[in-house]
Amino acid sequence: MAVTERMAPGKYESTVTPEIVERYKKLTTPNIWQVLTTQGINCYTRAVRAIAPGMRLCGPAVTMRLVPIQEKKNFSTIGSPDFEHTIHVLSRMTKKGDIHVLDMGGYMDGSLFGGHAAADAKWAGAAGMVIDGVTRDSYQQIEWKFPVFARDTVAPHAHGMFRTANLNNEPVVVGTVSIGPGDLVIGDNDGLCVVPKDRAADLLPLIEEAEERDYAGVKDWDAGLDVHSKDGGHHQNSLDVMDPKMITNVPKGARDPRTTKRP
């Protein structure tokens, strides 16, 4: 892909409908991870965490990758291989409910995302920010209740140190997961999950079933039932009771929830 193509904003439309997003908002990352792992999908990272307890995000990804520049004098020269798009370009590309995903390769010493960028993103309708790197002005983001998932928070900025390598044209990396344009990103206190856009709909009933069984088991504990006994309520793993018709493409060697029982 040529430099000019990388820097031209991608126009990929997410196949994840608003109705599907609303249903995923009711789910938690442990159960999402559990189902997707059974399907052989690399979906979870703990490399980034919510900058404040209780922050949650869920929505289709709009992606951007930044890499260290070679010649700092060229970072503001449009058309140069070392040109750095302002982070605000994501807000110009976003649709209501999108999640901005910024791949900075885990850079920890400065951030391109701060209070101004967060205000712009929130005003544009973004539902949150994921950074494989750090954020700054975190107190403002927390005050505005704008969900941000990052490796940490810092004071310094990093302007003039990175160049744009991708604007919603191809997958980016956050921690150990790949996030493509339009993929569904879900974050909560337990980390970040990514659901491939073309699997979000068919996996949803499985995850909802896992979530229902999980919470039903908690209610049994509260009721004083022995959930590990033969007749004691929801003693099985939440995956063990799924409709076999809903389980597809189980890779060789993966734990098959139709046949694997909890000890």
pLDDT in tens, 66-113: 988 876 655 556 665 555 567 788 888 889 999 999 999 999 999 999
Burial of residue 60 (number of CB atoms within 10 Å: 0-12, 13-18, 19+) = buried
Residue % of the chain over a pLDDT of 90: 60
Which pLDDT tens digit goes with each residue over 221-230?
Answer: 666 666 555 4
Rounded CA-CA distance 236/233 in Å is 9
149: Cα within 13 Å, side-chain hemisphere: 30
Across the chain, mean pLDDT equals: 83
Q: How many CB atoms lie within 10 A of CB 218?
A: 11
pLDDT at 37 exceeding the cut of 90: yes
Distances (CA, A) of 102 to 96, 110, 194, 215: 18, 14, 14, 33
Whole-model pTM over 0.75: yes
Going from the C-alpha of 147 to that of each of 11, 88, 130, 150, 175, the distances in angstroms are 24, 17, 9, 10, 18
CATH number of 3-200: 3.50.30.40
- Range(s) within the chain of domains with CATH label 3.50.30.40: 3-200
